[in-house]
Each structure stands twice: as C-alpha cells, then as structure tokens.
Amino acid sequence: MYWQLAVERITSRWTGQNLVSRVIPVDPFDIVIFGATGDLARRKILPALFHRFVVGQIPDEARIIGTARRDINPCAFVAMVRNDLHAFASTAASKTEALTRFLERLQFVRLDATGDMGWSDLTGFLRPELKRAFCFSVSPTLFGPIAAKLYTTGVAHSESRIVVEKPFGHNLYAAQQLNASLLRNFSERQIYRIDHYLGKESVQNLMALRFANALWEPLWNARHIDHVQITVAESIGVSGRGEYYDSSGAMRDMIQNHLMQLLCLTAMEPPTRFEPNAVRDEKVKVIKALQPVRSMDVVRGQYSARDGKDGYRDHAGNADSLTECFVALKVNVGNWRWASAPFYLRTGKKLRARSSEIAIMFRDPPHMIFQDSEWPRGNALIIRLNPNEGITLHNTIKDPGPGGFRLTDVSLDMAFASALGDLEKPQDAYERLIMDVVRGDQTLFMRGDEVEAAWSWIDPIIATWEDARDVPLPYEPGGSGPEMADVLLRRDGREWRAIG
Ligand code: BG6
C-alpha cells in the first residue's frame, strides 16, 4: 500500500480536543547499510533507525546489518554505534533498555563492495521471507558496482530496495550513466534516491498546506502572487569538507536538488492523488517548464577571509578556486500559472544565520483607498523550514489609536512545535525517509527522469561559468551574500527578505 500512515493523528475539529497519536509498526525487515562506519550512517541513518525503534515503529524482528571494508569486529562495531547514539541521538541516554534491545538487532559483516570478500557472509544474515533494503552510504562511484554485486551474488531479490544518496551525478551525463548502471539490475520502483529535504516535516507540510486546504489554491498563481523567494542560508562554512565541496559548489550541492525540490513543490499543479508517480510527474513538468537562465540573472559568491584566514579558499584548500559557495538566481517558470511571477532562489554558506524559508509574496491591493496612509506592504505567506518550523502570514491592519488612519503589518504566526505539542516534535528527515523505504512508498524520493531533468536545466548555467572562467564575487562572512544579489531583486523593484 502506497500511503500507510505511520503516525495517525485523530483530532476533534469541533471540540478542539487534541491529538491522539498512534505509531503503526512496519513489517519486520532486514536493512543492510553499505559504508556503515562512515559519517552518514553514523550520524544520520543509525540514529534515525534508533528513534523509530524507540517509538515502537521498528519491530524486534528487524535486523540492521552494517557492512564496511574496515577491519573491525562485530563487537567493536556495536560499541561504536552505542557511542554514536549517545552523541547523535537525543533519546539514547534516557532509553537505556531500548538502546540495549536496539543494539541486539545489529550485525556487522566485513565486506569488499567491489571484490568477493564478505558477500556470502552477508547472504547468511538475510532472511528469505523478509523485505530487504540496501542503503548505499558510500561514494557514488560504488553505486553501480554494488548494485551489480547485489544482483550477481543473488543477495538482492525482486522485492529488494536500494537507497542512494546525493550527489546523484555531477552533470547530466554522469547522472544518466549512474541511472543506467542501477537500472541494469534493478527496476525504477526498487530505487529510492534520497533528497533529505523531502523528508523534512515542513517541506511535506508545504504539500499539506497547498493541497489539503481550499483557501490557497485560488490565490496560488501569478495573478495574485508577485514573486516567490526561496532561501536556504547557512551560517557554517565548508571547512572539514572543503575538498568535496570545491569540486561541487552551491549550484550542484544545493540548487540542483534541495532548492529545486522546494521550487517544484511550490510551483507544481495539484497531483490527482498523493501517490509516487502522480506527485513526481507534476514535479517533472515544473522542471521542464523552467526557462533557460540568462547570465545577468545569476550571482555567484565566495566568502572572504577575515584577518587573512578562514576564507572559502582557505577552507577549500585551493587558493585559486573559482567554485561558488553562494548563488542567487532568478528563475522563470514558463507556464500559465507562473508567467510573470518569478522565483528568486538563494543559498550560501557563512551567511548571517541558519535560516531557510519559502516566501510567497502576494501582489499589492489593486486600488488604495486609504489616501493618507503609506501603501501597505503586500501580504506574504512564509513557510519556515528552520529555525522554528512553521507558517507566518503577514497582513495589514490598522495601527491602533484615534490619530489618523495608519496601517501596519502584523503577522499570524504558527510554530509547528507549539501548535502541535511535544507529540509531533519534528523528526529528522531520515526517520521518515527510511520508514518510507521499508513501507515501499516512493513519493518522497526522486525519480530518475526528475534528476536528469534537473541536470539538463543546471548544466548550461554551469557550462557558461566554466567556459568564461567566471570569478565568484567575494562577500563578507556573516552577511547576506554579495551586494549584487540585492541588485538582482532591486532591478525588478523588489527586495529580499532579511536572513534570520
Ligand atoms: C547537504 C549539503 O545536502 O545539505 C550541505 O551537501 C548542506 O552542503 C546540507 O549543508 C544542508 O542541509 P540542512 O538539512 O542542514 O538544511
């Protein structure tokens, strides 16, 4: 079944009686993590599985099999996971009994992803009657070889699922090769391409907001919306992962996937059903409707050094780097809904704050009757991804008092944490996504053609920079990016919302 809710919320709409929450356990499964001693597995995948185990969603019969080439014995692996859970899973310290039971579910197999070592041991751990999921928590260069091995060794069966992470290719050609290498041995319905933004509660809420309320749809078009701003600002730099980042840059690392997904969910037509292909078909249509971006509509930046240190180039270990860690761009979606209402996307490292949001900026009232007042700011609907996930609606009201008739901007504010209470605390995106893999629901995963369509649109933008050896503009750490990013909007008579 595509959409089996993990958490059922039953609310009484009329009495305001609040929530009863019920976790529906998934069926027993075997999950294999390739690269189990790596960062992603240790910081994200294993803590996510632990949290789902603590709330009772993962049954005791489930097994988690870590594999890696590293020579550690199973006991050392379990000890490592125990330490990691204390470090990365907030509940580990208080749930000691659950922690012990969770660790009993773990196995470790030393395995060479491209050679023969370990594959028959792995087969021995898997139970024929259960669903199998394989997480490729490894370098993308190993995706194809592992998929082939899974097939030739018979470790994967026709109901097995494989889970791959970004980066999914470096350009269109590489993404096509990667897709082809997976599709050689698995069908599309078995491939789960993760973009962790789709697992964020607030991103899924964007779909609920749009398609579970009748209020917004009549307004959700260029007739009422002036433009949309999508910002994903980070306060951290790239130190610690400079080498990877320098070969990627913000366009590949963030725009091609995370911001593109946010754009798609904001711009897409209502799907006929909340089902994997119905949703993904609509997202692909949006990507295909994106107009080519003119070079004057893109701004690239690199954070500078302070007191001669900690600049992007220091962190990247490349004194001549031309890689951008900030991008702002104006995107036109060429269809009836969005013609004349552009999307402005912006993302960068070392900015003023960690702050991500989608801002729907509505048009001004068509005629102003309050002659003596300043023209009110247009309404804006802000969907906050972080911090403080929630929704804010900016309205214009009368400034109180008898002296004249002035207008002021106030907001209706809903922070999900306080509106929904502890019960619905945002989970890490991976919790949702991994449970969806087990349930066999691909709605929140990228389809192959979707990834390729995104690269088809991105590639020419990057090619223009590379051909011209375009030099990113320097910007001060702790600010809002290069001044030219402000000009990009000012030129159109608009301005960015402040970061943070
Ligand atoms: C990752 C990028 O995919 O997303 C990182 O590689 C970025 O560069 C991260 O920092 C941001 O994710 P989040 O969930 O912290 O907004």
What digits encode the pLDDT tens for the residues 127-153?
A: 999 999 999 999 999 999 999 999 999
Could you tell me the distance, in angstroms and rounded to a whole number, from the CA of residue 43 to the centre of ligand 1?
13
Residue 389 near ligand 1, beta carbon < 6 Å: no
Contact by Cβ (8 Å): 199, 444: yes
Of the listed ranges 20-34, 137-151, 274-288, the least confidently predicted one is 20-34
Taking the C-alpha atoms of residue 34 and residue 112, their distance in angstroms, rounded to an integer, is 10
258 catalytic residue (yes or no):
yes
Residue 431 near ligand 1, beta carbon < 6 Å: no
Could you tell me the distance, in angstroms and rounded to a whole number, from the CA of residue 209 to the centre of ligand 1?
24
pLDDT at 312 over 70: yes
User: Residue 283: in which H helix or E strand, if any?
Assistant: helix 276-289
Could you tell me the distance, in angstroms and rounded to a whole number, from the CA of residue 123 to the centre of ligand 1?
34
Atom of ligand 1 nearest to the CA of 386: 16
The per-residue pLDDT for 122 is 96
What percent of the chain lies above the pLDDT cut of 70? 94
Could you tell me the distance, in angstroms and rounded to a whole number, from the CA of residue 89 to the centre of ligand 1?
19
Compute the mean pLDDT over every residue in the chain, rounded to the nearest whole number. 92
Closest-CA residue to 331 (of 153, 454, 186): 454
Q: Which residues pair with 301 in a beta bridge?
A: 326, 473
Q: Which residue owns the Cα nearest ligand 1 atom 2?
A: 253
For the entire predicted model, the pTM comes to 0.94
Residue 251: what residue type? M
Taking the C-alpha atoms of residue 263 and residue 33, their distance in angstroms, rounded to an integer, is 31
Highest mean pLDDT among 49-63, 403-417, 424-438: 49-63
Residue 234 near ligand 1, beta carbon < 6 Å: yes
Could you tell me the distance, in angstroms and rounded to a whole number, from the CA of residue 373 to the centre of ligand 1?
43
Residue 253 near ligand 1, beta carbon < 6 Å: yes
Contacts by 176-179, CB closer than 8 A, 24 or more apart: 176/452, 177/144, 178/140, 178/143, 178/144, 179/448, 179/451, 179/452
Residue 30 near ligand 1, beta carbon < 6 Å: no
Taking the C-alpha atoms of residue 276 and residue 117, their distance in angstroms, rounded to an integer, is 37
Could you tell me the distance, in angstroms and rounded to a whole number, from the CA of residue 171 to the centre of ligand 1?
19
Q: Beta-carbon neighbour count of residue 475 at 10 Å? A: 24
Reported residue count of the chain is 500
Taking the C-alpha atoms of residue 402 and residue 406, their distance in angstroms, rounded to an integer, is 10
pLDDT band of residue 15 (cuts 50, 70, 90) is very low
Atom of ligand 1 nearest to the CA of 356: 16
Q: Residue 472: how many CA atoms within 13 Å on its side-chain side?
A: 27
Helices (H), 11-168: 39-40, 46-54, 74-88, 96-104, 119-125, 143-152
pLDDT at 426 over 80: no
Contact by Cβ (8 Å): 141, 448: no
Taking the C-alpha atoms of residue 229 and residue 356, their distance in angstroms, rounded to an integer, is 10
Atom of ligand 1 nearest to the CA of 241: 8
Taking the C-alpha atoms of residue 471 and residue 312, their distance in angstroms, rounded to an integer, is 13
Task: Kindly name the residue from 227, 258, 315, 394 that is annotated as catalytic.
Answer: 258
Closest-CA residue to 239 (of 477, 495, 484, 1): 477
Q: Which residue owns the Cα nearest ligand 1 atom 6?
A: 253
Residue 165 near ligand 1, beta carbon < 6 Å: no
pLDDT band of residue 288 (cuts 50, 70, 90) is very high
Residue 281: what residue type? D
pLDDT at 157 over 50: yes
pLDDT at 7 over 70: no
Residue 195 near ligand 1, beta carbon < 6 Å: no
Atom of ligand 1 nearest to the CA of 200: 14
Q: Which residue owns the Cα nearest ligand 1 atom 8?
A: 253
Q: Which residue owns the Cα nearest ligand 1 atom 9?
A: 254
Direct distance between the N- and C-terminal alpha carbons of the chain, in angstroms, rounded to an integer: 41
The per-residue pLDDT for 3 is 35
Atom of ligand 1 nearest to the CA of 245: 8
